[in-house]
Amino acid sequence: MSASKPRAGTLVAGVREFFTLRETRAAREALPADDATVIARMLAVAEQRNAAAESLHFQAHRVEALRLVKEAITTASEAAARYADVRALVPAERSAVLRSLEHRGLADAQAAEVDAAVTATAGLAVPELDAELPIESDDDFARARDATETIVRELAFVGSSSSSLTNRSRLRVLGTVLTLVALGVLGYYASRTPLRLRATGSAPLHPSFAAEFAVDGRDDTRFLLPNEATGYLDLQVTPRRRISGISLLNSLNEPYNDRSTKDYAIEVYSRGHLAKRITGSFVYTLHPERVRHAVGVDQVDRIRVLVLSHHRTGGGFSEIEAD
């Protein structure tokens, strides 16, 4: 039987594996070809379902998104189980997900978090209608989505040949050399470039209420959604940087005063991965004030703000700022 591989006890060992992929190539070569093909296909299916679930969730089809992400994490965990069985990983009393992720060298806490997400998602009851799904289920969705991504990422090498892993190792070395050459220049300009947010999002009520008006620095313009619609704003952070906080100013739509967000969520992404999720609610008022949420995340490249429910006719935002 195969015990979990020795952990990278030092930073040097971890860096060495990143560049050489020596242990990764050994793990791939230890897999029979037929098993590698099956596991790689399961991981591809899990990744596909995960992507489809995220698309549904962004379109506010929350029940179907949760249902599909359950299928994705189930398929991913089954792939991990097959990997653990083929490699005869021990100890057998630990879950297959834990054994597989720890064998790949994932930190104990991170592996345990993924394993807990697999267990929790399996027990989720999914209703038939979006209206029957509590807002807290968005956290369950994000947890399952991220856990699936982790399993797929850690076992993705199964679908690669030894030669392709060797080429990847060489490219990493070359890419790092080029990055080090350019890092000083890029850092210099990035530190002196003002924060800019570029907004896209759900279809607005009218072009005069498009996403860009939520980040134009003016409180008298606004992003508004169609009647009774949920939606989102995608804010691209340029250049990528640390975000200390996010401020939201709710919409009102004067003089009608009929479009204000009620429940919302903020998802902060660092280097393409979800780093923090914040939820909140506005009370309806004729005099909305800014609400600031602490973030404290480095290397932020994208912020997604979701309108989950609204007051009166529809939702929106007058202004969104990050600092």
Distance in angstroms (rounded) separating the CA atoms of residues 165 and 157: 8
Burial of 275 by CB count in 10 Å (0-12 exposed, 13-18 middle, 19+ buried)? middle
Amino acid at the residue 204: P
**pLDDT for the residue 75:** 97
Q: Is the pLDDT of residue 6 over 70?
A: no
Name the pLDDT band for 10 (thresholds 50, 70, 90): low
Name the pLDDT band for 16 (thresholds 50, 70, 90): confident
**pLDDT for the residue 189:** 61
Q: Is the pLDDT of residue 269 over 70?
A: yes
Break the chain into its structural domains and give their ranges.
2-160, 196-322
Of the chain, the percentage scoring pLDDT greater than 70 comes to: 94
Distance in angstroms (rounded) separating the CA atoms of residues 307 and 318: 13
CA distance to 23, 245, 254, 309, per residue, from 288 (Å): 56, 19, 12, 17
Q: Is the pLDDT of residue 281 over 70?
A: yes
More confident residue, 141 or 160: 141
Name the pLDDT band for 53 (thresholds 50, 70, 90): very high
Torsion sign (Cα): 193, 210, 52, 269: positive
Average pLDDT, the chain: 89
Q: Is the pLDDT of residue 92 over 80?
A: yes
Q: What is the DSSP letter of 215?
A: S
Average pLDDT over residues 161-177: 81
Q: Is the pLDDT of residue 283 over 50?
A: yes
pLDDT tens digit sequence for 187-242:
666 555 557 789 999 999 999 999 999 999 999 999 999 999 999 999 999 888 99
CATH number attached to the domain at 196-322: 2.60.120.260
| Tokens standing for residue 158 | 């199964």
Distance in angstroms (rounded) separating the CA atoms of residues 269 and 168: 26
**pLDDT for the residue 1:** 47
